Amino acid sequence: MRTHYEQIMSAFMRVKNHDLNLEMFSPEQRTFIHEILWRRIEKSLPLNFSVSLAQFVPNLLVQQIISFDQVNESEIVYELKEEDVNFVVEAEPHDTAARNETIDLDTILPKIVGHARIENIFGTPSNSSPKKADLFKITHIPMFIDEKKVVYTSNLPQYLTLAHDGSSSEWFEHKDRKCTTNEQLKYMFCSIPVPVFNAIRHPCLRSIIFNTSVDDCLRETVDLSSPQVIEFAPNIHAISVHTPLQCFEKGDKKKI
């Protein structure tokens, strides 16, 4: 019971910090929630859409309300044993801190806590716009200015959508939008929307894509040792780096 109580309190604290989750429920209860919600939204999803419900369902949470129902005192069953409340504190007369020590109520609270009411509000996946957009992931490639320093373009979003009419949206992390992706069908559902602009909003990103001036880009210089690459023959290279490197033969993955 103690472990379950700690799990509930941890889940409640996550909700308090706007990290909505279903971890306050037991595995059996979560499975029950997953199945009910899946039956409700299955027809709203693309054909053959397949993802982990344990990942997908929590991402559909848009609001959680936690309250405690008042419990009639006569309905509370106290199951405290004598050893739960009897304790001995041995302390010297001058040891004020030890003499003032009291029992930790967390050790008995799970046995007398009332009824917690948890309201979960889920959003239904939908595609309100027939317009399709391509999704790009932006990868920072370092430019070595010497053997131990590189220059990065900083403050770029990690993801960009770009439609055929030029409209776009940008964001940094999938987890910030609570996104679930299906790589096979190339679908992505996000619970938290982002603004869609008529053109690429980020000035540096816009200049990179349209190959114009990059004066609007911010640059950051960091320490990074450059690898050394020597080509012995076509498709045969030697690479020297400052960290351990493992190589594998293509095909049977035999380490060399």
Select from 251, 15, 247, 233 the least CA-distant residue to 116.
15
Domains in the chain: boundaries: 2-76+114-122, 133-223
Phi, psi at 55, each rounded to 5°: -90, -40
Q: Residue 244 has what pLDDT?
A: 63
Q: What is the mean pLDDT of each run of 10 residues along the chain (256 residues)?
A: 76 90 91 90 78 86 83 56 50 50 51 72 72 83 83 88 89 80 72 85 88 84 80 80 64 48
Q: Residue 143 has what pLDDT?
A: 85
Q: Is 167 left (phi over 0), alpha (psi -120 to 50) or beta?
A: beta
Q: Residue 185 has what pLDDT?
A: 62
Select from 116, 111, 109 the least CA-distant residue to 79.
111
Q: Residue 8 has what pLDDT?
A: 86
Which residue type, as a one-letter code, is found at position 227?
P
Q: Residue 75 has what pLDDT?
A: 56
- Within 8 A by CB and 6+ apart from 184, the residues are 50
Q: Cα–Cα distance between 177 and 194 in angstroms, integer?
A: 8
Which residue type, as a one-letter code, is found at position 223?
D
Q: Residue 79 has what pLDDT?
A: 57
Phi, psi at 188, each rounded to 5°: -145, 130
The model's pTM? 0.56
Q: What is the DSSP letter of 251?
A: T
